[in-house]
Structure 1
Amino acid sequence: MQVFKFGGASVKDANGIKNLASVLKKVGYQNTLVVVSAMGKTTNAIERVVRNYFKNKKELQSAIQDVKKYHNDILLDLFDSDIHPAFKKVSTFFDELNSFLKTNKSPDYNFVYDQTIGFGELVSTTIISEYLNAIGLKNSWMDVRHYIKTDSYYRRANVNWEATQSEIKSRFKSSVLNITQGFLGSDANNFTTTLGREGSDYTAAIFAYCLNAESVTIWKDVPGVLNADPRYFENAQLLNTLSYRETIELAFYGASVIHPKTLQPLQRKEIPLYVKSFLNPEDVGTTIGKNKSLDPNVPCFIVKKNQVLISLSSLDFSYIVEENISEIFSLLHAYKMKVDVIQNSAISFSVCVDNMYDNLEALLLHLKAKFRVTYNENVSLYTIRHYNASALSQIETGKNVLLKQLTQETVQVVTK
């Protein structure tokens, strides 16, 4: 059993879908599960639908039509006639989306987000499955929500491993090519949940673990895992091999090529992970596995944009001690802030967070009741694994450094 994952960039248009089929033909698709993300920038487009639902109802239908037209254009490029069953199946999903938005009574943004956002994956996999069947690559379309069961932590759900393994064991048919969605699951009430942005990698790993797969391959628009994101850093290098531990470290610090939770289930069963190019599928790419070392041994750069640096000090110059820190973290948890860096001294405490749930204002109001608070929005957090003086200079030159933290292997720098 092998598990393949294709991201949105690989299936952003009809040519991308045809290329996916070509990749399967070149590398083989027997006993294969293909996990697919939403097409192109569809997730961003559906996020606009959710925002309009709450804040701008006049533009809601226009935003939905934009998403529908994008997928309809791809269908027209793939199929000779609009009477092909794929058109009706896709249209049915948009009917379901409209029906939910008309009947929903919940004011919870995160709940509505999860019930809405997954239509991107449901539509993309339906189109791909229908196209593969049309060209002779017979496959079975699976609704991943019947297989991956989670809690109700909408937008960042936690997997119920016992229930998930039970569903996969009883439902999954390994003898055929299977196509399913990344990113999605469902809770005990069968409401849709999501595993966090870029969660399709994690979906592939969950299935691999439960199916005792031989390997997982993530197909990207880059030749493999690079030591830096080429969008932000020049002269990025291909990493030939990585250990699970090193990759988990890179993912934890925010390397976008692998979802942070992906490696844990793979490591537990020592399932190798390959990262390859869907443009050159027969190239070697990057291998991540047991007893692999970082090759070549070079500094690895990670940047996270649009972070918030919050600095706290006591109002009476008393020490920031365990009791204060416990209270601070309780508030960070309550307001769903993802913590990326912590630094403290006797009377101050700084934390760099990701404000993905837009709760910053409420958090600051709460903190100001007990602490002197300063903060900087839209800061950048740079992390360098296996840093050297040259790598550190590259990051700091020309920037205002707000915080720096060094350990033996890693340096983190917050800049404005």
Structure 2
Amino acid sequence: MKVFKFGGASVKDAEGVKNVSLVLETQGFENCLLVVSAMGKTTNALEKVVQNYFDKNDYQSEIEKVKQNHLEISNGLFQENHPVFAEISLFFDDIESFLRRNKSPNYNFVYDQVVSCGEMISSKILSEYLNDIQFKNTWLDARDYIKTDNYYREGNVNWEETENKIAELDKNLCYVTQGFIGSEDNNFTVTLGREGSDYSAAIFAYCLNAEAMTIWKDVPGVMTGDPRKFENVSLLSNISYEDAIEMAYYGASVIHPKTLQPLKQKNIPFFVKSFVEPKKPGTKVGNGGNFQKEESYILKENQNLLRISTRDFSFIAEEHLSKIFALLAKNKIKISLMQNTAISLELCLEDKYGNIDELNKELQKDFQTELLKNLSLYTVRNAKLEDLGDFYKNKNILLEQSSNKTIQVVTN
């Protein structure tokens, strides 16, 4: 069985949905499971709904904007009396109903119940359209199959239960389902982390023992740098799982960090291809073969640099590190880069949940700190040290680290 994942850019409008069928014509639709993201910028729009709800602002008008966008897309795909229109309206009625009844003050819980609707609606529209044009498929609610804990917005998969449920699927059929979402023991929705649809596809591929998994992007494949950020980039046509995992860890946006481990465990070939040019080979990620070791550039934005030192200039010892890491875990803040000396620790941090100021406040009870925000982390892999002059030009380097032909610098 093959697993295909289509991101939001590939289904952002009616023409995009139609193009999915053209991609399937080139690839074959037999024994296939499609994982689809929310359409276009829907996730951002639904995040605004949640924010307005907690700020006690007008969230109903924001819901209506998202609804009208989906109805407009559907007008370009279906006849006027198609039942999909009633289903779309029902999804949005459910969002409003949930927010009216909700008593929970937990932002992350509310976020998951609302924002997840983007994938539910997009997958329903795609499934109905494909059925209408004779790409026969069954729509699945991914929450019935991917089971997680209740770590809202960053759910951890219960692999045993998930495998048992996905094993019940008939591998001779075709399916359309959602990325990004699962559910906990009480069947409340739990999302798998921002941009987590790639991970959803990998979960299904792992549990189905898929013959291959492909994600369809608006770029030719995995490049030596984001073409929107760097010049003169080229395609990496064949790379190892290890290189792809490293690139994802360092922040390469084309691959979600959690995607590759499940595929590597079962040696499932992984492809990144362009939905604009589906016949081109794209990038293959796998084991064995002559892998490319091209110099590659990765940019991770919206980073924070936290400098920590002891008040009495004593060494940063194990008990200090233990306290610091415990506070990082408590505030759900991830380390992108770390460097320490005898009396100081410098951390480049990713603050997904907006807790960096609270972390800094707690640390200042025991340490001296300096916090710098809105920074960029550049990573150069397979670096050619003699050719890095242009890379360093016009950059104010706040932190630098190098190891095994990988160079990382934090700049403002």
| TM-score, L = length of structure 2 | 0.98
Q: Deviations over 1:380-405 (max 9, x none)?
A: 00111111236543332112110000
The reply on whether 1:387 has 2:386 as its aligned counterpart is no
**Paired letter, 2:44:** N
The correspondence of residues 157-172 of structure 1 with structure 2, limited to 5 A, is 157-170=155-168, 172=169
Q: Identify which of 364, 371, 374 aligns with 2:367.
A: 371
Which residue type is aligned with residue 229 of structure 2? Y
Q: 1:262 to 1:391 in 2, by over 3 A?
A: farther
Correspondence for 2:40: 40
Query: What is residue 64 of structure 1 aligned with on the other side?
Result: 63
Show the counterpart of 2:9: 9
- Which residue number in structure 2 is paired with residue 401 of structure 1? 397
Preserved contact between residue 382 and residue 395 of structure 1 (Cα < 8 Å) = no
After superposition, the C-alpha distances for 1:14-33 in whole angstroms (9 at most, x for unaligned) are: 00000001111121010000
Aligned equivalents of 2:136, 2:269: Cα separation in 1: 27
Q: Residue 222 of structure 2 contacts residue 254 of structure 2 at CA under 8 Å; is this kept in 1?
A: yes
Aligned Cα RMSD in Å?
1.0
AA aligned to 2:238 is: T
Helix, strand or coil at the partner of 1:327: helix
Counterpart pick for 1:238 among 230, 235, 238: 235
Moved over 4 A (4+): none
Aligned residue for 1:269?
266
2:313 corresponds to which residue?
Answer: 317
Question: What displacement does 1:13 show?
Answer: 0.2
Distance in 2 of aligned mates of 1:179 and 1:117: 19
Q: CA deviation at 1:293?
A: 4.2
Q: Work out the CA distance in 1 between the residues paired with 2:134 and 2:205.
A: 26
Using the alignment, how far apart are the partners of 2:55 and 2:237 within structure 1? Answer: 47
Alignment partners' CA distance in 1, 2:166 and 2:289: 30
Query: Does the Cα contact within 8 Å between 2:306 and 2:369 map onto a contact in 1?
Result: yes
CA-to-aligned-CA distance 1:122-148 (integer Å, 9 cap, x gap): 000011111111111111000000000
Tell me what 2:76 maps to.
77
Please identify, of 4-13 and 387-396, the stretch whose mean Cα deviation from structure 2 is larger: 387-396
In the other structure, the counterpart of 2:411 is: 415
In the alignment, the residues of structure 2 paired with residue 28 and residue 405 of structure 1 have an alpha-carbon distance, to the nearest angstrom, of 46
Structure 2 counterpart of 1:25, which letter?
A: E
Q: Give the letter for the 2:40 counterpart.
A: G
1:253 matched to 2:250? The reply is yes
Q: Distance in 2 between matches of 1:215 and 1:313?
A: 49
Secondary structure (helix, strand or coil) at the match of 1:78 reads: coil
Amino acid at match of 2:139: W
2:90 pairs with 74, 92, 117, which one?
Answer: 92
Across the two proteins, how many residue pairs are aligned to each other? Answer: 412
Distance 1:304 1:199 in 2: 17
Structure 2 letter corresponding to 1:85:
P
Which is worse superposed, 194-203 or 286-295?
286-295
The whole-number CA distance in structure 2 between the counterparts of 1:236 and 1:56 is 46
Structural mapping, 1:7-406, within 5 Å: 7-57=7-57, 59-81=58-80, 83-170=81-168, 172-295=169-292, 297-389=293-385, 392-406=388-402
Provide, for residues 362-386 of structure 1, a one-character-per-residue CA deviation record: whole Å limited to 9, x for no partner: 1111000111100110000011111
- The offset of 1:174, in angstroms, is 1.8
Q: Deviation per CA, 1:262-316, whole angstroms, max 9, x where unpaired?
A: 1101001000001111111111111100114432x32111111111100001100
Distance 1:413 1:391, change over 3 A: farther
Q: Report the Cα distance in structure 1 between the residues aligned to 2:388 and 2:194, rounded to whole angstroms.
A: 29
Partners in 1 of 2:227 and 2:387 — Cα distance?
Answer: 15
Contact residue 246 and residue 294 of structure 1 kept, 8 A? no
The answer to whether the 8 Å contact 2:402/2:408 transfers is yes
Q: Distance in 2 between matches of 1:338 and 1:36?
A: 27
| 1:58-112: CA deviation from partner (whole Å, max 9, x where unpaired) | x20111111101101001111121x201101111111111111010110011111
Distance 1:394 1:138 in 2: 53
Q: Which segments of 5 or more consecutive residues in structure 2 lack a partner in the other structure?
A: none
Separation (CA, whole Å) in 2 of partners of 1:134 and 1:313: 64
Letter matched to residue 305 of structure 2: L
> How many Å separate the matches in 2 of 1:366 and 1:394?
40
Letter in 1 for 2:311: L
SS of aligned partner of 2:307: strand
Which residues of structure 1 form unaligned runs of 5+? Answer: none
Per the alignment, do residues 252 and 292 of structure 1 end up closer, same or farther by CA in structure 2, a change over 3 Å counting? farther
- Separation (CA, whole Å) in 2 of partners of 1:344 and 1:226: 32
- State the identity as a percent: 54
Q: Does structure 1 retain, via aligned residues, the 8 Å contact 2:211–2:268?
A: yes
Question: Using the alignment, how far apart are the partners of 2:387 and 2:79 within structure 1?
Answer: 53
